[in-house]
Amino acid sequence: RAAGAVPVVVFNPLGWQRSGVLPINVQMPAPEQDASVMDATGHVLPSEVLSRDTVTNSIHLLVEVSDIPSMGYEVLRVVPQKLPLESDLRVTGTTLENAAMRVVVDPKTGCITSLYDKKSSFETLAAGSCGNELQAFKDTPKDYDAWNIDPGTLDQPPTRLHADSVQVVEKGPMRGVIRVTRVWQNSKFVQEIVLDAFSDEAEAVNDIDWHERHVLLKAAFTLSASAPFATYEIPYGTIQRPTTRVNSWEKARFEVPSLYWADLGDVNHGFSLINDSKYGYDSVGNLLRLSLLRSPVSPDPDADQGPHHFSYALYPHGGDWKQALTVRRGYEFNYKLKAMQVEAHSGAMAARHSFVSVQSENVVLTAVKKAEDSDALIIRMYEWAGKTGTVTLAVPPGATAAVETNLLERAEGPPLGLAGDRVTVPVHPYEILTVRVDYPRKPL
């Protein structure tokens, strides 16, 4: 290995291999002016040094990694030299652009005026609209102040929060950032619109000092493509809800819950709004909004007051949400790749390794754990696309048998096919599936 190289392990907690840009913090053995990153095969990865600490010889980098193994890891090496870098990112004025997408921010209003998907050659936002518009509504529930949003709340014209300043704060080869600052009433809003090299998602990173009373804050997107239904993620599945308001049933569903994402579009184009901690959405016509903050006064008069930090991702795509694999994008936004500096050492395991994987794109692996009553391995997953098929699991070596179980881990049905470290199991549409993989009991 290169002299002075520092090993870093990147771990992927999800059940499919994935790529992306992630931060890495390393302490180099000596003061260095430059650094580059190499993967387990010695290939140079696109990276950028964001900052240095000359007192501790520490470096903070961004690096683009590819195909980190499912529920596994890869060992990278940070080397003390500047190696050739390839990047597709450009920052021109208040426009962020890479090979996959273009994000245009109005320098006066702070609105996203264009969210262009280059892969499908489509403008996601409706012409003349203000994308990512922050809207404030008077929010005075008749009962249960902290729990209810009353009918009619979203029917009133919102107060639109205009920008006080719009400035580019990063324009490196790996990341472009536009910071939009707003002050409204008693609160301050700092929002950074971020686009990474090689990414087909933009991110809105929010730092809000919130000091309002009876105000509901939303982020709004008026879209070019829409449909009579929007799709929302629910536990172990999805649900379609109407975007029309033609009867009392539809009017009553003006604010709805969702987990990691909601999606609106037609069969050719769509837009997924992915969150990391905000679970209230509304969609009517071609408008999709995410609820960001509320400010009730009962039972806690200071509920939600003070600083808030959260993010959401903007994912324009061709096709519908199934073709765009939005389910995976929601998990990836909430379960980041993790990087950790380690000491160099020899060992029996390879520099790249996957512990467990599921080969089918329409199946999400949600849990891997030791069985409650044995040394077996419990693997839980679910099917999200409405397809019947056969799933192949790659499991740790040494398995002696496998069987499907119920949620109490009790065997149901005949033994499953097991060949080496591969288990095959049938899966049905929208099924929650649990598999027990048996291993020899180890002596105490």
Q: What is the mean pLDDT of residues 215-228?
A: 98
Query: Which of 126, 403, 178 minimizes the C-alpha distance to 286?
Result: 126
CB-based contact 265:225 (threshold 8 Å) = yes
Integer angstrom CA distances of residue 225 from 126, 155, 199, 258, 264: 8, 22, 22, 21, 7
Query: What is the average pLDDT value for the chain, to the nearest integer?
Result: 96
**pLDDT for residue 276:** 97
Q: What is the DSSP code string of 329-352? A: HHHHHHS--EEEE------SS-SE
pLDDT band at 410 (very low <50, low <70, confident <90, very high): very high
Burial class (CB in 10 A: 0-12, 13-18, 19+), 37: buried
Instruction: Decide which of 81 and 191 is more confident.
Output: 191
> Which two structure tokens, joined as six digits, stand for 417?
């096919």
How are the residues of the chain apportioned to helix, strand and coil, as percentages rounded to the nearest 5?
A: 5, 50, 45
pLDDT 10s digits, 21-76: 999 999 998 886 689 999 999 999 999 999 999 899 999 999 999 999 999 999 99
pLDDT > 90: percent of the chain: 94
Burial class (CB in 10 A: 0-12, 13-18, 19+), 400: exposed
Taking the C-alpha atoms of residue 191 and residue 171, their distance in angstroms, rounded to an integer, is 16
Query: Which of 348, 399, 342, 347 minimizes the C-alpha distance to 371?
Result: 399
Which region, left, alpha or beta, applies to residue 110 given φ > 0 means left and ψ of -120 to 50 means alpha?
left
Rg for the chain (alpha carbons), in Å? 24
User: Is 222 a residue whose pLDDT tops 80?
Assistant: yes
pLDDT band at 1 (very low <50, low <70, confident <90, very high): low
Integer angstrom CA distances of residue 265 from 135, 229, 236, 256, 272: 22, 9, 22, 18, 9
**pLDDT for residue 84:** 83
Which residues on neighbouring strands pair with residue 292, listed in sequence order?
Answer: none
Taking the C-alpha atoms of residue 157 and residue 358, their distance in angstroms, rounded to an integer, is 48
pLDDT band at 443 (very low <50, low <70, confident <90, very high): low
Taking the C-alpha atoms of residue 55 and residue 384, their distance in angstroms, rounded to an integer, is 50
Within 8 A by CB and 6+ apart from 54, the residues are 31
Taking the C-alpha atoms of residue 85 and residue 46, their distance in angstroms, rounded to an integer, is 6
> Which two structure tokens, joined as six digits, stand for 422?
């591969």
Q: In what order do the strands lie in the sheet with 261-265?
A: 165-171, 175-184, 187-196, 202-210, 306-318, 269-275, 261-265, 229-234, 237-242
pLDDT band at 2 (very low <50, low <70, confident <90, very high): low
Within 8 A by CB and 6+ apart from 375, the residues are 439, 440, 441, 442
**pLDDT for residue 126:** 98
pLDDT 10s digits, 69-90: 999 999 999 999 888 888 999 9
Which residues on neighbouring strands pair with residue 291, listed in sequence order?
Answer: 218
Residue located via tokens 């994402």? 261
**pLDDT for residue 328:** 98
CB-based contact 381:358 (threshold 8 Å) = yes
Instruction: Decide which of 175 and 84 is more confident.
Output: 175
